[in-house]
Amino acid sequence: MPYDYTDASKELFGIVFESKAKGFLVGMEFMAIVQGRIMYLKEGEPREEVFPDLQIHQPEYKRISHDMARRLATGGEYIDQSELDRLFDPNDPHRSKKTRILIQKLLQQLIHREPLLRTRKEPTWFGSYFFPYESGLIHHEAVEDPVPPDHPSVSAFQNKDRFRNKNRRSRPNADDLYVPKLRRYQFRDGGKLAFNFLRHDRDLERKEKISMGFKRFLGSSSNSLTKLMEVIQKVDFAKSDNTTRQDDINPIITSNWDSNTWCERFCFGIDNLLNIEVPFSKKMDMIMVWVPYCTARYQIEQAHLETGEGDTWNALCTITDDANLRKKSRDRVRSTENMLRNAYRSKFEDNAEDLPPGFDVGRLMKRVNNYSGFAIGSLALCGALNSLTGSRYFTIKNKLLSTIVAAELDSVSGAGSMALDEFIVDVLFKRHDLIIDMNLTNDGQSMLRIDSSRFENNKAALERRLVETGNARKYSDSTTIIEGVKGSK
């Protein structure tokens, strides 16, 4: 087989990263696998582990599509009356219509909308995802799959024409109906990688704590919304099913997997996040930030280990609107993008004889951003960059800042607070390679051109942001203490 992007990505990272499957999609895929795994074990294999060791087997999990709820949330155009009759009382059409409108309005508000992603048209039902404010909203993906009009699954349909794709009328089997089917659409293994971080965790006691933590967490939301989703789920066309051991969920273990620090950082953070005492939706919001953030940082560190560009990777985080700091930070964004591209280039050059016919390294590099751009795109959507496009620089937005504080300060063990300077050095710099203060830079020559007062302003801006978001408290003696979220033992 010719050597291409997929082979290079698997050799570099163990999975195939794709730029289109970034940010929220990584977190949603991860939560769909974790919940699906817990549901699978609850229904039939309670003795198996939630996160079995990577060398044991490929773990099965249950998949739920929520296709009916998502079709309702996006207007209900692709729903047959026979399906509605199973959900609403056909003998009282007036009341049923009012109930349907109310439910549709509710479901529309639960659809996740990414503010940084600008689209000209509304996404399709299968391109729309619920944000998991409750565990009942977690779902896998489904797509529109063709079936012949005489297929038993559509025999009860009263209006089959609305399920025909008008754009495919010129193709063979133009009369096929396009109906929901469980199959991935935009998920591209980022969530599987995060799931496998937990499987790879060498701290077995912590792994067990995380397993129990997820069971308690996902079992704690049984309110009326979850019950409503359970009712609607019974009418899903794409019925829930279990994956098989043939489904590829095990990553390829790369040569420097154990050298990457972000597997450990991810597990440490998840353990802390599961133990904080906050409402379900807030805890989920933090997990949905932590998952793509850590997988993006994993890709960057793997690329750095592959290319060996510099002794360390770090990023100047600009909290203020200082033009000089932003310029330095923009330069770091560009150098990081080039490092990711160069990691792919090195693999293409090492396998030049096996490239697809008619392709050379230069031609392959023209489309490499579709794969190398995952990390920068995910960091932007998580709040580690100011923007997804245009003039970009590293920063720490409020949601990411709160997530880092909650994930890194272990409130359960009593290490739930620290001084501001300690937080900047021990957490942001030593653990996350994020530079706030001039004294932390390893790039003395270039940074000396920037007045130290600019860094002082940057530090002061971070301090204000920590206080404003409730993550720190400033005392009368001018000391600022970072306070993690209270944990439950």
Per-residue pLDDT, 93: 83
pLDDT digits (tens, 9 = 90+) for 393-435: 999 999 999 999 999 987 544 557 889 999 999 999 999 999 9
C-alpha span between 438 and 432 (Å, rounded): 16
**Most confident among 27-31, 110-114, 164-168, 219-223 (mean pLDDT):** 27-31
End-to-end CA distance of the chain: 53
Whether 166 and 123 map to the same domain: the answer is no
Q: Per the structure block, which two tokens stand in for 87?
A: 């959900």
Determine, yes or no, domain membership for 255: no
Boundary-marking domain end, from 197, 216, 247: 247
Average pLDDT value for residue range 131-148: 94
Query: What percent of the chain is predicted at pLDDT more than 90?
Result: 58
Per-residue pLDDT, 242: 87
Whether 415 and 327 map to the same domain: the answer is yes
Determine, yes or no, domain membership for 324: yes
Determine, yes or no, domain membership for 350: yes
Per-residue pLDDT, 247: 58
Per-residue pLDDT, 489: 46
Domain of residue 304 covers 286-483
Per-residue pLDDT, 444: 46
Boundary-marking domain end, from 247, 272, 297: 247
Determine, yes or no, domain membership for 257: no
Whether 306 and 395 map to the same domain: the answer is yes
Whether 233 and 298 map to the same domain: the answer is no
Number of separate domains in the chain: 3
pLDDT digits (tens, 9 = 90+) for 58-87: 788 999 999 999 999 999 889 999 999 999
Whether 396 and 296 map to the same domain: the answer is yes
Whether 44 and 109 map to the same domain: the answer is yes
Whether 432 and 406 map to the same domain: the answer is yes
Mean pLDDT (the chain, rounded): 87
pLDDT at 445 over 60: no
Determine, yes or no, domain membership for 12: no
Per-residue pLDDT, 168: 53
Per-residue pLDDT, 319: 94
Whether 169 and 292 map to the same domain: the answer is no
Per-residue pLDDT, 212: 95
Whether 106 and 41 map to the same domain: the answer is yes
Determine, yes or no, domain membership for 477: yes
pTM summary value: 0.93
Of the candidate ranges 11-20, 55-64, 119-128, 166-175, the one whose mean pLDDT is the lowest: 166-175
pLDDT digits (tens, 9 = 90+) for 309-333: 766 788 999 999 999 899 999 999 9
Whether 173 and 218 map to the same domain: the answer is no
Per-residue pLDDT, 171: 58
pLDDT digits (tens, 9 = 90+) for 355-397: 888 888 888 888 888 889 999 999 999 999 999 988 999 999 9
Whether 44 and 169 map to the same domain: the answer is no
Determine, yes or no, domain membership for 11: no
Per-residue pLDDT, 221: 67
Q: Interhelix angle for 280-307 vs 398-408, to 10°?
A: 90
Per-residue pLDDT, 214: 96
Looking at per-residue pLDDT, the higher value among 488 and 22 belongs to: 22
Whether 336 and 210 map to the same domain: the answer is no
pLDDT digits (tens, 9 = 90+) for 162-181: 898 756 544 557 788 999 99
Determine, yes or no, domain membership for 8: no
